[in-house]
Structure 1
């Protein structure tokens, strides 16, 4: 019963409320409340702060979420090995990835992985902003740049070059910038990452780094949308080679300021701070790492 109550607790956290968890598991609100109370009584701590409008994890609750995913994952692995053989992988995996990267490289890798492991289910959530890996129940996340939360474990996938790009139609109307400072006279399409506006673009490092504050008439928190605006001729973007290499090769986008390359960006996989991962997660990590290491941008 303890493991069942822990699994229910994870559902409450992932769904955001006791009512939603009960609906998912076809349990009454009273039953959910009673089983959560029994779990808190078992550990002797409060796991969730509850108001009429929202719930939030206590520190003990965050610890349980992290440890519970590990324990339940190991139980699922053990059950699969007993039922179906040692080589069978099964169970759910939740992934967070940037919008563009998820649609291109990650999605294709998942398709290949599921063809080899049909007993696994994968939930891919696309977001260019910060996500709470522990609180939202993610097994892994892909992110460009340094991790905001230093408690997370990370796996570096190397540095990706970045390009300043525009469509041929935009350049025909407005011309091309020759030096980074020229970007101030152009309409730049800007990404927003949560509260942070990505409108300070750095070029360098030789002979000296150049920093340009850009602006434009369109801002979005979705990288795929910003790239689509660029393809439609609305302005200039700064993007990872992973996102734009195919469009540049097809002639749909033109790389600009090639004598002044922007600073590259780190790509990494982030994981909750648990000691171990279920076998299915480790297998997917290996698969997606290989997919990204072998991507076309690595060969350029």
Structure 2
């Protein structure tokens, strides 16, 4: 019963409320409140602060979140090992990935993984903005950039070169920028990451990194749509080589300002610092790391 109450407690935290957690688990609000009270009585501590509008974790509650994840992962690992054997995996996996990279590269890997492991289920969140792994109950996420949250652990997948690019049709109609400052005269397609609009693009100019302000009539929070608009000739985009490598190779897009490096960012898998990950999660992380194309930086840059 304790493990069931711990799982319910995590659902309350992830869903942001007792009612939402109850609906997910088929429990009445009264039953959820009763089981939460039993859990607080067991530990002799208040785990949640509740108001009419929201809930928040107490210090003891935050401590229990990490501990509960470890206990539940260990219990599930033990049960799976006994019930299914050491080589079989089962159960849900929740992950997040950038939209364009996820559709293009991660989804095919997930399809093969599901075919190999029929008792596994996948819940994929495609999002280009920041995703709260712990708050949303995700097992791991694939992310570009540096690891901002020092409490997370990471598995590197390689470097990710960023390129400025445009379609031949756009360049034929508007000319090709010869210098980053020329971008002020062009229509650029901008990405929005959450509340942040990526309108400052960094370039290495005369040995120094300088940010150039760009403008454009099209803004999207979906990297795939930005790439589509770029291929259709609507403007210049700053994209990951993972997202536009095939378009550059086919000639659908042309790399611009190659002499002014826009730098590289890390591509990595990040996950909460749970001491024990379920076998299914470990297997999928290993599969993604092994099956992602362009395994070396030199191959990616050569596209």
**TM-score normalised by L of structure 1:** 0.93
Aligned to 1:109: 109
CA distance in 2, matches of 1:242, 1:132: 23
SS of 2:88 mapped into structure 1? coil
CA distance in 2, matches of 1:107, 1:63: 34
CA distance in 2, matches of 1:230, 1:291: 28
Q: Tell me, which stretches of 5 or more residues in structure 1 are unaligned?
A: none
Aligned to 1:42: 42
Q: Compute the displacement of 1:296 (Å).
A: 8.8
CA distance in 1, matches of 2:58, 2:146: 26
Q: Deviations over 1:264-293 (max 9, x none)?
A: 111111111222322221111111111226
Question: Given the alignment of the two structures, is residue 265 of structure 1 paired with residue 265 of structure 2, yes or no?
Answer: yes
CA distance in 2, matches of 1:125, 1:263: 27
SS of 1:82 mapped into structure 2? helix
Q: Deviations over 1:151-183 (max 9, x none)?
A: 111222221111101122211211111111111
Change in Cα spacing, 1:206 to 1:283, as seen in structure 2 (3 Å) is farther
Aligned to 1:204: 204
Given that 1:11 and 1:21 are in contact with CA atoms closer than 8 Å, whether structure 2 keeps it comes out as yes
Aligned to 2:282: 282
Name the Cα RMSD after superposition: 1.9
Change in Cα spacing, 1:52 to 1:164, as seen in structure 2 (3 Å) is same
CA distance in 2, matches of 1:3, 1:205: 57
Aligned to 1:18: 18
Q: Compute the displacement of 1:58 (Å).
A: 2.9
Q: Which moved more, 1:81-90 or 1:206-215?
A: 206-215
SS of 2:212 mapped into structure 1? strand
Given that 1:152 and 1:270 are in contact with CA atoms closer than 8 Å, whether structure 2 keeps it comes out as yes
CA distance in 2, matches of 1:220, 1:204: 26
Q: Which moved more, 1:223-232 or 1:144-153?
A: 223-232
Aligned to 1:55: 55
Given that 2:74 and 2:276 are in contact with CA atoms closer than 8 Å, whether structure 1 keeps it comes out as no
Q: Tell me, which stretches of 5 or more residues in structure 2 are unaligned?
A: none
Q: Deviations over 1:124-155 (max 9, x none)?
A: 10111112211211111111111221111122
**TM-score normalised by L of structure 2:** 0.92
Q: Compute the displacement of 1:106 (Å).
A: 1.3
Aligned to 1:145: 145
CA distance in 2, matches of 1:206, 1:283: 46
Q: Compute the displacement of 1:205 (Å).
A: 7.0
SS of 1:52 mapped into structure 2? coil
CA distance in 1, matches of 2:276, 2:282: 9
Question: Given the alignment of the two structures, is residue 95 of structure 1 paired with residue 92 of structure 2, yes or no?
Answer: no
CA distance in 2, matches of 1:51, 1:69: 25
Q: Deviations over 1:208-251 (max 9, x none)?
A: 33431211122222212222221222211111100111122232
Change in Cα spacing, 1:97 to 1:195, as seen in structure 2 (3 Å) is same
CA distance in 2, matches of 1:125, 1:222: 13
SS of 2:188 mapped into structure 1? coil
Q: Which moved more, 1:68-77 or 1:206-215?
A: 206-215
